[in-house]
Structure 1
């Protein structure tokens, strides 16, 4: 740590950022840190003034770190858009229209264009009347594609209507899209029909970003012309331009199962690959006069051209900045530590964008690069091979081992899976990526040269085909992905304690690290056993949020039965809204009953569940509790129901007025799922409030979960 000062500086800055994000109201803490740090720093300077040999001043060092912590808090406050008085979040009146400019490169989805608008001004009714007033904030707009061309960066739109706040996660374990966007200072979204927006002009917020988007579009046209096969074009487009719309679902799943999904998003990995390839290709310049400077110039030129081609994708920008500092430090000729240079790059990036700290890409990139830089060489040198090919394979394997070891706890925490055959897939992916990325850049550079561009395009397509084939074969192996893994933040931190203390033990042979590793491992084992015990004894009813659909589950131990009208082919909706819930609950056996069935389903339900189903309703009896799902309340048919139903679930707009339940159903708990129309549910909830009826809506309140233990 003594020779790596920026490690301490970055840690102090990160401490201030984390303090603000989790406790923004603790304003007294950074104020005290600022005053105390300034006092300690000045006292240390006064103590050493006039001395020829200046002793190490611990007080001055601590004072400086306290100042950096206060700086981290202040930067985070300054970069939080909701702290601006004219931000959308503070608007209390209904917004009738607003003007905004497209502030990022639009994305094409299946049925919509996803556009990020930076709001400039808005119109709403206030005491001063209806007029345009200054307004700030960012809105994610989904524009219906029907008959529309792709929007362009810098277009100024006039939008009618009002954006709505982004919903929090409505199911247990669901991805927190609201928090993810809040780290980008986006708090609102809106769905638009074409007639609800008008393009006023073109006024790009940044000329450099405007150039980057045009270069990105040009690169897309080059790849479209040179790579004719859709699967190979999809991979090239994803790896170089960061666009995954053309990827086949099965191909994406194969990459995920093989542990190679990271290559499908432009990130620090790609910048790192280009850096290593360029270092290898340009290494002959080192021995020449001013060769280091020329090598650094060429590396920076190509790395930043790649960032330009990606449209200045934020992950690539962060990684390009990281490697820029590493290249400059190496070219300076001064004695420098790799970890210190890496920490310096993180420090300056976080000064510019403190919320980058909470990006999975930022965390994984720095962990992987730091781990490889610190541990790959000792691991590689621990085993020697006589033959050059075997030695090269072992070198690549050592990279894959270190990268997987250092990132797997974070990967499991975010993505809930572990690739079983990563040792088989990653060396292949690394080799093929080392070929494909420079080849793609060369294809772009010589796209204007006849015949040569066709040859390069053919080589690029065949390389992409070979990469796809290797990944598909690996992903098709039995048990390729260990799925459904869940760990808490505490467990993830403890696993990292085991990894880092274990590595320190191997390097230093210090017995203290042995005790720390053993203690952390015992805590991890205890947490795992306790979680498994709780899951084995859980009993719960859940009415899940599923847009415009029904999903009701009964869970006992590691088994669950779900009744839903979600189509079996709609795996995307299941994965987004429901998969994480059952994964978090440790469900390993899931039985599905289709709500569209109108006859007996005795052949499809577990033995512990009694079920009676008609067109009008479905009645479940489970562990002494009755659950009634009502499809329709019309007609005079006689219902055979218990005197009191424990849980009444209203679906498909069955209830129009509360009088319809009189003399028919008495229930202890009433729940509306999202198959009901929102205006109707809102009206019934308002009427229920006046009548004193307790009820619950998953659209407004999130999934209804009742523990029955």
Structure 2
């Protein structure tokens, strides 16, 4: 019955299967292709006899066709990438967005219009510009003539590091370049594009905010919340939102589009009285929503939310209000049809997990304490929404971010009402541009609201146990948690005890996988080498670990922090490599340039001021061949 009322849920399921197989297990698509060939041959024979059955076999052929079409679509969207340039080449490129100032350069997105290597044309890439007055004056839509080497984006190769290459690849960005001040020049304006026009308009609005908001932190928060401009967020401001679970407010997404959507529903509710008025209302709301999406840069999160509300509004307009799951599935299908990579974006997964969880769990939780008192009802509903969203998103949040903000429910009492006030106030500020006195008054209220929000969030972040950090779960544990939630949902709907048993089995599997992982981590014994300005060596024995470096001033915790979390290590002991170092600590023994770690022995030989570890062969444990002499130090194995 559920799938009959929500056909897009079935379509989306088979489409997802095709994407996953095409990306991770392409060989498993062969049986699907063979089944299509056999099935079509069988039905061709039946049709020749004027028999037209539509049975289970026909249904399976349609499902198989969806899987194969999905996989073909994925391959079409992922043609072989062009090769990067090994030497400097000349090319024309359009500035996609205003450059963001970094410590030593300007960062911006460039779209290659024409290059010596034609295969690079139309590629979007990350660009870094040497600091100069010309670089600071660039704006979206400027056409540049450049000379630089275009390289494929690669990670540094450190263990457990953030996969920056994959993060940008999911946005369709595979290349980067560095432009020195004399290697680029402005050559006019690029031809008109809707996105560029929207970006230019956003820059004008940002200028209005800068001129009216005197406090830097107010501009940071309000520009991020209303226009999706997060480039100037300081680490302190970002931490206040992250540690309290309120970061979703600063990323323009479903919350912001939802607030605008429901406000517009109320505003144009009078048009629902006639059939014609209902469609006028639909067109007005969709026009405003998509205009806002363009204004905020049409980021993936805004696209998802706007498309989702588009399907919901269209469903309501054609009297299909009972098919909310179908509308959600249709919006996801449309996005995946356009961009398959969006499935693997963390934001996409969190957005749809939150929406589905709210749609299902909110009515159940809200019904636990029915109340008609508006003083109690509204806060209770807000709490229910927060709890419902967290049920669906907490497994993904822990898996990707390794932390859980315990007071998310408390911070939402602050950030969600504040988001509505700040959004409404910001748009009022823009509208009041011809009235400077009114603008100053609105700006004063905005800054006061923002300051109150930051004070409240910082207070919440200092509460005991505000953030549980350092949590690490495996993909197997993530799967077990998700299965347990799905089985609980099935039990609620079908009232069958077997699903409770399945949920318990899933939780037991979660514990067993965790215990086995702990056992392996407690018995681990490894050496990791990090790429840094100075070589960094990480000796790990169980949870004890030692970091050796020749320059502690150049050692950033970001180099090894992910390793500590993923391998559940204690705080490391930092050791400065010197010419006369002696140390005896548990499994690690150091004397001058000889390093013994467990049963393995290494020698440290400086080379161009970068230490290099070389393994010493033990003649007893690993004797050399009889027809050769002992290996010299220069022939010893070099660790990666």
Residue 579 of structure 1 corresponds to: 561
Give the SS at the match of 2:88: strand
**Distance in 2 (alpha carbons) for counterparts of 1:116 and 1:624:** 48
Residue 699 of structure 1 corresponds to: none
Per-residue CA distance 1:640-677 (angstroms, 9 max, x = gap) = 999x9922345682379x9xxxxxx98528xxxxxxxx
Residue 442 of structure 2 corresponds to: 456
Report matched runs for 1:602-617 at 5 Å: 614=578, 616-617=579-580
Per-residue CA distance 1:514-541 (angstroms, 9 max, x = gap) = 1210111110011111122222232333
**Distance in 2 (alpha carbons) for counterparts of 1:592 and 1:690:** 27
Q: 2:110 aligns with which of 103, 114, 117?
A: 117
Distance 1:372-1:43 versus aligned 2 partners, 3 A rule = farther
Residue 647 of structure 1 corresponds to: 602
Distance 1:289-1:187 versus aligned 2 partners, 3 A rule = closer
Q: 1:521 aligns with which of 494, 507, 526?
A: 507
Deviation at 1:171, TM superposition (A): 2.3
User: Is 2:97 aligned against 1:105?
Assistant: yes
Per-residue CA distance 1:244-301 (angstroms, 9 max, x = gap) = 2332322211211101112222223322232233334444543466443343233223
Distance 1:376-1:650 versus aligned 2 partners, 3 A rule = farther
CA contact (8 A) 2:82 2:119 kept: no
**Distance in 2 (alpha carbons) for counterparts of 1:415 and 1:233:** 27
Deviation at 1:556, TM superposition (A): 3.1
Per-residue CA distance 1:525-563 (angstroms, 9 max, x = gap) = 111111222222323333322x31343333333333334
Q: 1:298 aligns with which of 281, 284, 293?
A: 284
Distance 1:140-1:33 versus aligned 2 partners, 3 A rule = farther
CA contact (8 A) 2:22 2:71 kept: yes
Deviation at 1:113, TM superposition (A): 2.2
Deviation at 1:109, TM superposition (A): 3.8
Report matched runs for 1:98-497 at 5 Å: 98-102=90-94, 104-111=96-103, 112-123=105-116, 135-136=120-121, 137-147=123-133, 148-168=135-155, 170-204=157-191, 207-287=193-273, 290-334=276-320, 336-385=322-371, 387-497=373-483
CA contact (8 A) 2:595 2:602 kept: no
Unaligned runs of 5+ in 1: 124-131, 596-612, 631-638, 659-664, 670-687, 697-703, 705-709
**Distance in 2 (alpha carbons) for counterparts of 1:440 and 1:153:** 23
Give the SS at the match of 1:2: helix
Report matched runs for 1:10-159 at 5 Å: 10-24=12-26, 28=30, 31-32=33-34, 35=37, 57-80=55-78, 82-83=79-80, 87-89=81-83, 94-102=86-94, 104-111=96-103, 112-123=105-116, 135-136=120-121, 137-147=123-133, 148-159=135-146
Distance 1:66-1:257 versus aligned 2 partners, 3 A rule = same
CA contact (8 A) 2:15 2:66 kept: yes
CA contact (8 A) 1:554 1:561 kept: yes
What do you get for the CA RMSD once the two structures are aligned?
3.4
Residue 694 of structure 1 corresponds to: 637
CA contact (8 A) 2:589 2:595 kept: no
**Distance in 1 (alpha carbons) for counterparts of 2:98 and 2:273:** 46
CA contact (8 A) 1:38 1:64 kept: no
**Distance in 1 (alpha carbons) for counterparts of 2:419 and 2:281:** 22
**Distance in 2 (alpha carbons) for counterparts of 1:198 and 1:562:** 45
TM-score normalized by the length of structure 2: 0.87
CA contact (8 A) 1:95 1:122 kept: no
CA contact (8 A) 1:141 1:191 kept: yes
Report matched runs for 1:660-671 at 5 Å: 667-668=615-616
Deviation at 1:36, TM superposition (A): 5.7
Q: 1:548 aligns with which of 533, 553, 571?
A: 533
Distance 1:277-1:590 versus aligned 2 partners, 3 A rule = farther
Number of residue pairs the alignment of both structures matches: 621
Deviation at 1:372, TM superposition (A): 0.9
CA contact (8 A) 1:40 1:59 kept: no
Deviation at 1:337, TM superposition (A): 0.6
Distance 1:259-1:47 versus aligned 2 partners, 3 A rule = farther
Deviation at 1:437, TM superposition (A): 2.0
Per-residue CA distance 1:547-591 (angstroms, 9 max, x = gap) = 3134333333333333446767x99x423x321111001024333
User: Is 2:572 aligned against 1:590?
Assistant: yes
CA contact (8 A) 1:561 1:590 kept: yes
TM-score normalized by the length of structure 1: 0.79
Deviation at 1:5, TM superposition (A): 0.6
Report matched runs for 1:678-689 at 5 Å: none
Unaligned runs of 5+ in 2: 618-630
User: Is 2:507 aligned against 1:511?
Assistant: no
Mean Cα displacement is larger for which, 384-393 or 100-109? 100-109
**Distance in 1 (alpha carbons) for counterparts of 2:430 and 2:418:** 18
CA contact (8 A) 1:626 1:647 kept: no
Give the SS at the match of 1:451: helix
**Distance in 1 (alpha carbons) for counterparts of 2:150 and 2:399:** 32
Give the SS at the match of 1:187: strand
Deviation at 1:46, TM superposition (A): 9.2
CA contact (8 A) 2:249 2:416 kept: no
CA contact (8 A) 1:113 1:143 kept: yes
Per-residue CA distance 1:118-145 (angstroms, 9 max, x = gap) = 334444xxxxxxxx65544443221122
**Distance in 2 (alpha carbons) for counterparts of 1:655 and 1:565:** 8
Distance 1:460-1:654 versus aligned 2 partners, 3 A rule = closer
Give the SS at the match of 1:553: strand
CA contact (8 A) 1:627 1:646 kept: no
Deviation at 1:461, TM superposition (A): 2.2
Deviation at 1:15, TM superposition (A): 1.3
